[in-house]
Chains A and B, each alone.
Chain A
Amino acid sequence: MIQYAWLIPVFPLVAFMLLLLFGKQLKEKAAYVGILALAVSFGMAVVILFERIGGQNYRYVLDWLNFGDTTITMGYEVTALNAMMLVIVTLVSLLVHMFSRDYLQGDDRIEVFYSYLGLFSFSMLGLVLSPNLLQLYIFWELVGLCSYLLVGFWYFKPEAAAAAKKAFLTTRIGDVGLLIGLILTFIYTGSFEYDVIFTAVSAGLLDQTLITVIALLVFLGAVGKSAQFPLHIWLPDAMEGPTPVSALIHAATMVAAGVYLVAVMYPMFIASATAMTVVAYTGAITAIFAASIGLVQKDIKRVLAYSTVSQLGFMMLALGTAGYVAGLFHLMTHAFFKALLFLGAGSVIHGVHSQDINEMGGLWSKMRITAVTFLIGALAISGIPPFAGFWSKDEIFAAVWASGDMLLFTIAVVTAFMTAFYMFRLFFVTFTGSYRGEHKPRESGPFMTIPLMVLAIFAIGAGLVNAPFTHHALTDFLIQGTSIGEQALASGWMMGLSVVIAVAGITLAWLIYGKGIVNRDSIKNTFATPYRILYNKYYVDELYINVITKPVVSLGNLLWSIDRNLVDGFVNFTANTARWKGGLFARVQNGQVQTYGLVTVIGGIMLFALAFLIRGYIG
């Protein structure tokens, strides 16, 4: 079956094309086309994963372009990392397809939505199967396009259109970095193939500075796609898209592409200590920065968005401190519990018709399944054992501790505390207390609750693949056959510490939001200025607008006025001069015979004068 891995992206692509052609007729039934395609892909991905466990990489490429000595290939490769990613992407995509059937019920463009979902699934699956950098870049851009299409699905809402544009442009900045890195790699190693590049790196054929530069440029691409600071601004705005989109793209898959890129280019990063430090610190700063903003947001999706940015920061932090497996493990567990949390939020939004947590409350009794699964997701992300997040977060702590950098470790620990806090703030305000809104919330239908339950199972159990008592199966699976070294393991006191922090965060949240012992408003009033800074996202957007956008726009206006006045003015001046000269001569054409007679006489005299001159009669 592994040689048919190329079919996995093809099924969603076929779904996309079918829906383009027949979507209008299918309308609501478009959902089933998508669900069927993804179900087949998921089945295949699972089989291939089991084949790959204890097996070998499988690679199949065709020559695509030949010029001179170089050949660029196209094809697919199944490595351990890919096989895991295939399962994650197809599973989450399948569940999102199912969920969207109910969430977008009644939308008159639902078939378009499913076609976009199919295109996105194709792009993401193609991205993870890419055997070389160039093909990865192609799918990378495609994924960015799909994000634009899906975030801006409700394009008639100006905020959604603006958010889609912002997402695309911000990730584009990162993409430029990736492209330049790619080109540099090609220039200095003559190939886009991973093995050729990594052989060149380990053989010392590349200058150390060059390796650092390439690694940083590639990381820039990852910063854009994975919404790390300072290119994180698009992800919260991207919440304007439908919630299933947020779950699929902005929690589980597309934003993971940045982490995947760093993982796939890992040998190049390892070869440069500077790049690793940059990755680690960017991840850490992003993690704590985003977590702090998430503490005060009122929109349920915005809290989850900032949480995603923060958790991605954790993954980058892990990768940057040589915790290859830790980062990828967290990517896997995060995909499950974040998708769960987003879909749960979607279920809540579907029930209460609002995204403001102050209009929620008391949903524990009204939407039991959603509430329970959301609780499971919240426990998972907070790092409570035995849920998935505990194991992956602990491995990250282990990697950071092993790197010896105390600052990074402190940031990681503080962020973990904040994570637990804001997650349970969200839980308590949304599900406990009494309902503060005006609708009648009901539990959602099976097409929405079954995905929640499936993801909850994974959120509980996924961590066990790399637990000490399963002998770190995932670590062996991912590392075997690669040149990645020993991974740090979490020790007992570290596990204890992370549990203590998580429980502390949950307790604090319970005190403020659950029991109300500490008043919410009193905190808001005592810490008014920090609150305002956090609520306004540290004013980063305003900074960018004033420092970058406005000057560029004024420059554009200046150039436009130069073009309009100078260039067009010059053209008009030429035309007017011609017209004026014509006007001078036009005075002769006044319709009066005597004028014409005068001209004739003058002409005649001139002719005679000329003739006499030539013949020598005069002069």
Chain B
Amino acid sequence: MVPLTSYLALAAILFCIGLYGVLTKRSLVIVLVSVELMLNAVNINLVALSSIGPVANITGQVFSLFTITVAAAEAAVGLAILIALYRNRKTIDSRKQDLLRN
């Protein structure tokens, strides 16, 4: 059997990669993709941990369906905002969104 820690490690690595992308990428589309990546890493965690415990059930897996839905909705809204942003500022470079600058 695959040990639990492998699944958790995989999720952690994916989460960190996603976090790195959110914090670093210049194109906002890629930032949204990285956010999706982070959410998927969370899903892996949920599913992996549902198989352990004194009474192993599928609660984790069911909950992950919810997060997938939420992720989808959030991606849609995020893209809508992105398009509105592009229409107004003609760019989706994250470095250029600095109106709150000191």
Identify the A interface with B (CB < 8 A).
Answer: 586, 589-594, 597-598, 601
Name the 9 nearest CB pairs between A and B, nearest first: A591-B98, A591-B101, A589-B102, A591-B100, A586-B102, A598-B23, A594-B23, A597-B23, A592-B98
Residues of A contacting B: mostly: helix
Q: Is residue B29 contacting chain A, with contact meaning CB distance below 8 A?
A: no
Q: Is residue B57 contacting chain A, with contact meaning CB distance below 8 A?
A: no
A590 touches B22 (CB 8 A): no
- Within 23-41 of B, Cβ neighbours of A (below 8 Å) are at 23-25, 31
Identify the B interface with A (CB < 8 A).
Answer: 19, 22-25, 31, 94-95, 97-102
A592 touches B95 (CB 8 A): yes
16 A–B pairs (Cβ distance < 8 Å), ordered by A: A586-B102, A589-B100, A589-B102, A590-B101, A590-B102, A591-B98, A591-B99, A591-B101, A591-B102, A592-B94, A593-B94, A593-B97, A594-B22, A594-B31, A594-B94, A597-B23
For B24, list chain A residues within 8 Å (CB): 594
Distance in angstroms from B91 CB to nearest chain A CB is: 13
Distance in angstroms from A413 CB to nearest chain B CB is: 90
For B22, list chain A residues within 8 Å (CB): 594, 597
B97 touches A591 (CB 8 A): yes
Distance in angstroms from A594 CB to nearest chain B CB is: 5
For B19, list chain A residues within 8 Å (CB): 601
Distance in angstroms from B21 CB to nearest chain A CB is: 10
Distance in angstroms from A105 CB to nearest chain B CB is: 73
Distance in angstroms from A149 CB to nearest chain B CB is: 60
Q: Taking A586-B102, A590-B98, A601-B19 as given, write out 11 further A-B residue pairs in contact, using a Cβ cutoff of 8 Å, ordered by the A residue number.
A: A590-B101, A590-B102, A591-B97, A591-B99, A591-B101, A594-B23, A594-B24, A594-B25, A594-B31, A594-B94, A597-B23
Distance in angstroms from B78 CB to nearest chain A CB is: 13
State in angstroms the CA–CA spacing of A594 and B99 once bound together.
13
For B23, list chain A residues within 8 Å (CB): 594, 597-598, 601
B101 touches A589 (CB 8 A): yes
State in angstroms the CA–CA spacing of A593 and B85 once bound together.
14
Give the residue name and chain of the A residue nearest to B98 (CB): A591
For B102, list chain A residues within 8 Å (CB): 586, 589-591
State in angstroms the CA–CA spacing of A592 and B23 once bound together.
10
For B94, list chain A residues within 8 Å (CB): 592-594
Distance in angstroms from A4 CB to nearest chain B CB is: 81
Distance in angstroms from B98 CB to nearest chain A CB is: 3
Distance in angstroms from B50 CB to nearest chain A CB is: 24
For A586, list chain B residues within 8 Å (CB): 102
State in angstroms the CA–CA spacing of A592 and B31 once bound together.
13
For B101, list chain A residues within 8 Å (CB): 589-591
For A598, list chain B residues within 8 Å (CB): 23
Distance in angstroms from A585 CB to nearest chain B CB is: 9
State in angstroms the CA–CA spacing of A598 and B21 once bound together.
11
Distance in angstroms from A600 CB to nearest chain B CB is: 9
State in angstroms the CA–CA spacing of A66 and B22 once bound together.
86
For A601, list chain B residues within 8 Å (CB): 19, 23
For A592, list chain B residues within 8 Å (CB): 94-95, 97-98
State in angstroms the CA–CA spacing of A592 and B74 once bound together.
21
State in angstroms the CA–CA spacing of A589 and B101 once bound together.
6
State in angstroms the CA–CA spacing of A601 and B19 once bound together.
9
State in angstroms the CA–CA spacing of A601 and B101 once bound together.
20
For B98, list chain A residues within 8 Å (CB): 590-592
Give the residue name and chain of the A residue nearest to B99 (CB): A591
For B97, list chain A residues within 8 Å (CB): 591-593
State in angstroms the CA–CA spacing of A375 and B15 once bound together.
119
Distance in angstroms from A603 CB to nearest chain B CB is: 13
